[in-house]
Structure 1
Amino acid sequence: MIDELEPTSQLDNIDQALAKFTPTSLSEIDSVSLMNRIDTKYVSNEVLLAQLLEMVRADYKVLEVDGFRRSPYETLYFDTLHRDCYLDHHNGRATRLKFRQRRYMSSGTAFFEVKQKTNRGRTIKRRVPIASIEQTLDDASKDLVLQTRSSGKTLLPQIWTLFSRITLVGLNIAERVTIDTELSFSDEQQDRALEGVTIIEVKQERNLRNSPIRQCLRQLRVPPMRISKYCIGSALLNPTLKRNRFKRKLRVVGSHTS
């Protein structure tokens, strides 16, 4: 497991920008859960994020949990011995899966989650509650796995991720935006931190290009980029993994590292 990163001055600027947003609660955002959705992702840095938040604060509320607007998340990803989930993503398979245990540290809740990317470009997420993150799957988690095409394959814990998440909810459209900062990864041998990097994910029921945050990102010349924290973390931690199709993404991520 990995240690939480210390805050930086850029994060102070981000917190100041977040303080200007109208808050919303976990119960209020349940209506915008978007478990079946279109995702659009972006990679940027903490300097630009503070500017972006100032630009969009009139169009979104921010999730606040126990007075905090950046919430720590802890995730343990599972994959097969031969990293089938990683390779499906690397090789461009249209339909692919990811399996993870995630603890929402602000609320104290934890889930085993299955994310499926369909050949229509949609993301479908299913999950079951768990008591805590463990190195093995409980019966309810195994039952969920049995409903996927990986039902005959053994899943093993592979890498940890830790990050702080900002969650925005659109005021005028059904849209959620998650912004991950303080990203770090670890396995049994080592850990890696992506200091200064932010990953922004816009989640919509359908592809709405008039989204305020997407328009602002275009103004700031931040292009969309398909990226997986699990795959990037795996490639950073394990140099033996196939990575040819991830080299450009790794360069982009590296260019935003402070």
Structure 2
Amino acid sequence: MISAIVRDAPLDDEIDSELARFSPVTLREIESVSLMNRVDTKYVANDQLLPSLLAMLRDSYKVLEVEGMRRSPYESLYFDTARRDCYLDHHNGRATRLKFRQRRYKSSGVTFFEVKQKTNRGRTVKTRIPIPAIEDQLNEDSKELLGTTRSKYTQLEPQIWTLFSRLTLVGIDIAERVTIDTNLEFCDSQQDQPLEGVMIIEVKQERNQRGSPIRQCLRQLGVRPMRFSKYCIGSAMLDPNLKRNRFKRKLMAVGSHTL
């Protein structure tokens, strides 16, 4: 089930106005900073801060532009076992864990099956293959990629959708990519849950560099790093029966907008 939520038009206009002041970069140009093996630092903040944050970052980053769009809609369908083992691995703090998803990049029209692995050294390793479209089953190529992960979870089924708008910034003087997701919504076959007023910022680096421009700006704005999984938080919001002890503080924070 996929639905659309009402957007904050004035805020969207402010964000687009700030993005228009950035120099653009193309998909081809950012291939050198794809960072498929990287260190991730995530932040969760009130999306009202985004125009101010962008104004602070304008001289340090370029913005990805695809087909004239600087904010692109994304759709992801996450797969897990019937017992939600991937979810539970994350919840229980397992150092090495995997997530599986089909993701459609709507501005470019391409779709991938993607595997994200968190290693016991705190790195994120992403592998992916193109697929024709998002489907409720994995095709043979996707199953082959799944086999290369040596995951014990081979019987996967679709669990939840995540929908959001993403803007991508690329460092001018630093090998760094930043994604900022807004207008988040989680859906399953029964319901949908918007995550209003929240933005998810992910800083992707070859190695942990606390002095990067965006991390300095976030400190100035009082925004601290927060570990956050869209799949896990969305699953917990949609299914009250899932184990959630370790996620309660985050669920309360995003639900009450006390960010």
- Do structure 1's residue 7 and structure 2's residue 7 form an aligned pair? yes
Residue 18 of structure 1: aligned partner: 19
What residue number does 1:123 align with?
Answer: 124
Amino acid across the alignment from 1:249: K
Cα displacement (A) at 1:256: 2.5
Q: Which residue of 2 aligns with 1:209?
A: 210
Q: Which residue of 1 aligns with 2:51?
A: 50
Matches within 5 A, 1:187-202: 187-202=188-203
Q: Using the TM superposition, give the Cα deviation of residue 12 of structure 1 relative to its aligned residue in structure 2, in angstroms.
A: 1.1
Do the aligned partners of residues 257 and 237 (structure 1) sit closer, same or farther apart at CA in structure 2, a change above 3 Å counting? farther
Contact 1:11 / 1:46 at 8 angstroms: preserved in 2? no
1:241 is matched with which residue? 242
Tell me the percent identity: 71
Distance in 2 (CA, whole Å) between partners of 1:143 and 1:104 is 22
Where does residue 141 of structure 2 map in the other structure? Answer: 140
Q: State how 1:1-258 maps to structure 2 within 5 Å.
A: 1-8=1-8, 9-151=10-152, 153-256=154-257
Q: Distance in 2 between matches of 1:248 and 1:257?
A: 11
Could you tell me whether the CA contact under 8 Å between 1:37 and 1:204 is conserved in 2? yes
TM-score (norm 1): 0.97
The C-alpha deviation readout for 1:93-134, integer Å capped at 9, x for no partner, is 000000000000000000000000000000000001000000
Separation in structure 1 between the aligned mates of residue 200 and residue 214 of structure 2, nearest angstrom: 13
Structure 1 distance, partners of 2:7, 2:258, is 15
SS in 1 for 2:224: coil
**Superposed CA offset, 1:174-211 (max 9, x none):** 00000000000100111000112100000000001111
One-letter amino acid of the counterpart of residue 120, structure 1: R
CA-CA distance at 1:6 after TM superposition: 4.0
Q: Normalised by the size of structure 2, how large is the TM-score? A: 0.97
The CA distance in 2 between the partners of 1:100 and 1:42, in whole Å, is: 22
- SS of 1:140 mapped into structure 2: helix
Could you tell me which runs of 5 or more consecutive residues in structure 2 were left unpaired when the two chains were aligned.
none
Distance 1:152 1:60, change over 3 A: closer
Residue 21 of structure 1, CA deviation:
0.5
Structure 2 Cα separation of the partners of residues 203 and 25 of structure 1: 18
Deviation at 1:4, TM superposition (A): 3.5
CA contact (8 A) 2:38 2:204 kept: yes
Cα drift, residue 255 of structure 1:
3.1
Structure 1: where are the runs of 5+ without partners?
A: none
Q: How many residues align?
A: 258
Distance 1:124 1:77 in 2: 17
Moved more, 164-173 or 2-11: 2-11
Matched to 1:5, the amino acid is: I
SS at 1:26 equivalent: coil
**Stretch deviating more after TM superposition (231-240 or 243-252):** 243-252
Q: Which is further off, 146-155 or 50-59?
A: 146-155
Q: Distance in 2 between matches of 1:255 and 1:169?
A: 31
**TM-superposed deviation, 1:249:** 1.0
